[in-house]
C-alpha cells in the first residue's frame, strides 16, 4: 500500500511528509516576528483567517539564511500538542512543487551519518526514480528523499521569559 507524500526542498536536500499530516500549502509573503520566541521561529502568519506560528526550516536545520522568492512555501502541518490535542504549525521551505507515492518498502532507517547530522529530524530515507523504475532517462540516478519527523522539527520548547 503506497502512501502519498508531499515533497519539499530546503537548501539542496529534498524532504517528504505524509500528505495526511499536511493541512495545506500556502505561498509565503512574510511573517510577523514575535519577540521572545525561539530563534528558529520566524513568527506568525495568517492562513485563511487562522493565525499560525511558522518555523524557518533553514534555521531549524542549521542552514544559512537565504533570500525568499516566489518558490518559497509554507507547509501547514498538524502535530500532537504537549497537553493533548493538535497543534497547527507552519514550516517555511524553499520550494514545494510535487507529491510522490512511497511504498513502505522504500522507506529505510537513515544512515548513521544522516541521523546524527539531522538531530533526529529525519526518521527514514527513501530512494525513488532509480534504475528500472520506468524513468525515461537512460540510467538516470535516483533521488534521495528524507522523511521528516514533524513533531521533532516543531519542538516543544517552552519559552521562559526573562
Q: Which stretch binds other proteins (CB under 8 A): 2-10, 57-65, 113-121, 148-156?
A: 148-156
Grid cell 499560525 in the structure block, residue:
52
Q: Which of residues 43-102 bind other proteins (CB under 8 A)?
A: 43-46, 49, 51-53, 55, 82, 87, 89
**What backbone torsions phi and psi does residue 87 show, to the nearest 5 degrees?**
-110, 145
Grid cell 519542538 in the structure block, residue:
155
- Which has the closest alpha carbon to 5: 81, 103, 143? 103
Q: Which of 17, 41, 92, 96 binds other proteins (CB under 8 A)?
A: 41
* Residue 130 neighbours by CB distance under 10 Å: 14
Q: How far is CA 143 from the centre of its chain?
A: 17
- Cα 19 from Cα 6, distance rounded (Å): 6
Q: 101-130 mask for other proteins (x: CB under 8 A)? A: ------------------------------
158 part of the interface to other proteins, by CB under 8 A: yes
Q: Which stretch binds other proteins (CB under 8 A): 63-71, 108-116, 130-138, 150-158?
A: 150-158
Q: Which stretch binds other proteins (CB under 8 A): 36-44, 91-99, 115-123, 142-150?
A: 36-44
DSSP 3-state of 29: coil
Report whether 109 contacts 124 (CB < 8 A): yes
The residue among 105 and 162 lying less far from other proteins, judged by its C-beta, is 162
**Interface with other proteins (CB under 8 A):** 29-30, 32-38, 41, 43-46, 49, 51-53, 55, 82, 87, 89, 154-159, 161-162
Amino acid at each position: 500500500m503506497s502512501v502519498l507524500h508531499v515533497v519539499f526542498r530546503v537548501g539542496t536536500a529534498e524532504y517528504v511528509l505524509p500528505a495526511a499530516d499536511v493541512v495545506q500549502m500556502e505561498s509565503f509573503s512574510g511573517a510577523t516576528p514575535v519577540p521572545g520566541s525561539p530563534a528558529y521561529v520566524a513568527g506568525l502568519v495568517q492562513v485563511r483567517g487562522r493565525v499560525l506560528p511558522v518555523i524557518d526550516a533553514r534555521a531549524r536545520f542549521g542552514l544559512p539564511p537565504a533570500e525568499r522568492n516566489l518558490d518559497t512555501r509554507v507547509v501547514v502541518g498538524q502535530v500532537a500538542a504537549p497537553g493533548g490535542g493538535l497543534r497547527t504549525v507552519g514550516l517555511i521551505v524553499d520550494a514545494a512543487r510535487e507529491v510522490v507515492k512511497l511504498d513502505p518498502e522504500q522507506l529505510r532507517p537513515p544512515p548513521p551519518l544522516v541521523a546524527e547530522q539531522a538531530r533526529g529530524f529525519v526518521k527514514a530515507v527513501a530512494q525513488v526514480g532509480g534504475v528500472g523504475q520506468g524513468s525515461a532517462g537512460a540510467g538516470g540516478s535516483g533521488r534521495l528523499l528524507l522523511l521528516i519527523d514533524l513533531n521533532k522539527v516543531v519542538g516543544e520548547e517552552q519559552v521562559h521569559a526573562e
